Amino acid sequence: AVRRIARLPGDAARKWLVDREEALKQAASAIRATPEEVPARISALLEERKKLEKELADTKKALALGGGGASDAGGPAVEEIGGVKFFGQVIEGLNPKELKPLADEKRNELGSAVITLIAANPNANTVVQSATLDLAERFDSTKLVRVATEAMGGKGGGGRNDMAQGGGPAGKENAEKAIEAIRAELAK
């Protein structure tokens, strides 16, 4: 391994130290700490941010599952389409990694049902399509997820007949189109 050693002569070294000290003072001021407290304060702020991000994710998850009676408050309700229970929801700002666990929880809660969850984010939409095992043959999730992604303006998607995932262009309007396309497909 090669190590580089930089050296600064006289005034340049002093200027470098003064600049670093000034940067440290500015950072300390920004986080309302003394220069000596900066490392500990940054660690505490990062820990607090991590905790808040987890709380936010938990809150979004609870809202997505209808926690606190969201259906009574105008949230999505379970519909019956063609004799089958259907739950479709667009969740803005949700991490797409949370969709599959949410779909599993909703599937367990509803029993026999078809579930469509879409995370609408600024860069792209992600859809997870799920069906309970008793409905998976009749309403193949891989086929339904393709219907949803095409309605959003995307292509493809895949997975198993009981759980599939796909994506498409960003935008809540695109996500709503996908939910409508699934409703239409279930009504056939």
Each residue's pLDDT, cut to its tens digit, for the chain (188 residues) gives: 787 777 778 888 889 899 999 999 999 999 999 999 999 999 999 999 999 988 887 887 777 666 544 334 445 678 999 889 999 999 888 888 889 998 998 888 888 999 999 999 899 999 999 999 999 999 999 999 999 999 999 888 899 999 999 999 988 899 999 999 999 999 88
68 to 11, 61, 71, 88: CA distances (angstroms): 65, 12, 9, 18
Whether residue 74 is contained in a domain is answered as: no
**60 and 101 together in one domain:** no
Whether residue 4 is contained in a domain is answered as: no
Q: Which domain holds residue 54?
A: 10-64
Burial code (b: 16+ CB inside 10 Å, e: under 16) for 125-161 equals bbbbbbbbeebbeebbbbebbbbbbbbbebeebebeb
What the block records as the tokens of 105 is: 């929880």
**19 and 86 together in one domain:** no
**182 and 90 together in one domain:** yes
| Entry pTM | 0.68
Instruction: Give the whole-angstrom CA distance, residue 8 versus residue 136.
Output: 70
